[in-house]
A and B are shown apart, each in its own frame.
Chain A
Amino acid sequence: AQKVTQAQTEISVVEKEDVTLDCVYETRDTTYYLFWYKQPPSGELVFLIRRNSFDEQNEISGRYSWNFQKSTSSFNFTITASQVVDSAVYFCALSEALITGGGNKLTFGTGTQLKVEL
């Protein structure tokens, strides 16, 4: 069974601080995909990034960066120089490889509420 753990339920930072959101996953699949989604106060789910299990290269996109470490089953997300607009709930999710004739359901973590204050 797949499982995603986000141990941090809530993090508060002051604007311009860096913040890292932790994600630990469990799966028996050898090929899988990891995702981060953002849920702002308006409620929609916004796709941020996908990583493949066979590609451990870290990725940077503007102020966002992701650290994927297969050895520790972690896929952490760092926001550099946080801004008030970053305030949201962030979900880490896991899916197995695409099922033949089907899709690939996402297993979500419980989310981390990030509050960025002035």
Chain B
Amino acid sequence: EPEVTQTPSHQVTQMGQEVILRCVPISNHLYFYWYRQILGQKVEFLVSFYNNEISEKSEIFDDQFSVERPDGSNFTLKIRSTKLEDSAMYFCASQSGYSYEQYFGPGTRLTVT
């Protein structure tokens, strides 16, 4: 069964460093998302991506964040200068063009020290 994959599973970085979180969505899906979950809290929407551009973003998704689909298979989230409060689990999700279900990857736990 097709699934969304994410790498790395855990990333530790120092404050101020740039990180890139990678996702491979389900093949033939058209909509892509990033969400984050601070430990013990709810899952929060960051950004949606369709047709090679951002379709919607939340207040959390400020200028420090960017997304890219560089090669038609990977979907990346970049944080330019990480802050302590960026520590969270980051989930990638993808969705087909004919249904409303979003399928999530296993997540990347980002720890900023």
Residues of A within 8 A of B (CB): 33, 35, 37, 42-47, 50, 91, 93, 95, 98-99, 101-111
Q: Which of A44, A50, A95, A103 contacts B106 (CB 8 A)?
A: A44
User: B18 at interface (Cβ–Cβ under 8 A)?
Assistant: no
User: Min CB distance, A69 to chain B, in Å?
Assistant: 20
Interface 1/0s, chain B 27-54, versus A by CB < 8 A? 0000111010000011111001111000
**Known A43-B89, A99-B56, A101-B51; contact A106-B102, beta-carbon cutoff 8 A:** yes
Report, as a range, how many residues of chain B touch the other chain: 20 to 34
13 intermolecular pairs with C-beta atoms under 8 Å apart: A42-B106, A45-B91, A47-B102, A50-B99, A50-B100, A50-B101, A101-B55, A103-B33, A103-B95, A105-B33, A106-B45, A109-B42, A110-B41
- Whether A103 touches B107, Cβ cut-off 8 Å, given contacts A50-B101, A109-B42, is no
Main secondary structure of the interface of B (DSSP, over half): strand
The 4 closest A-B CB pairs, nearest first, are A102-B55, A103-B31, A103-B48, A45-B104
Inter-chain contact B42/A110, CB cutoff 8 Å: yes
Which of B45, B56, B104, B109 is close to A102, meaning CB atoms less than 8 Å apart?
B56
Q: Is the CB of B50 within 8 A of A103?
A: yes
Known contacts A106-B35, A109-B42, A111-B42; is-contact A101 B50 (Cβ 8 Å): yes
Closest chain B residue, CB of each to CB of A97: B100
Interface check B103, CB cutoff 8 A = yes
Q: Are B104 and A108 in contact (CB-based, < 8 A)?
A: no
- Which B residues touch A44, using CB under 8 A? 104-107
Instruction: Tell whether A104 pairs with B100 under 8 Å between CB atoms, given A45-B91, A110-B41.
Output: yes
Q: Return chain B residues, CB-CB under 8 Å to A42.
A: 106
Whether A91 contacts B56 in the complex (CB less than 8 A), given A103-B50, A104-B100, A105-B33, comes out as no
The docked-state distance in angstroms from the alpha carbon of A42 to that of B95 is: 22
Q: Mark B48-67, 1 if CB is under 8 A from A, else 0.
A: 11110001101000000000
- Rounded to whole Å, the gap between the CB of A49 and the closest CB of chain B is 9
Decide: A43 near B45, CB < 8 A? Known: A35-B101, A50-B101, A98-B100.
no
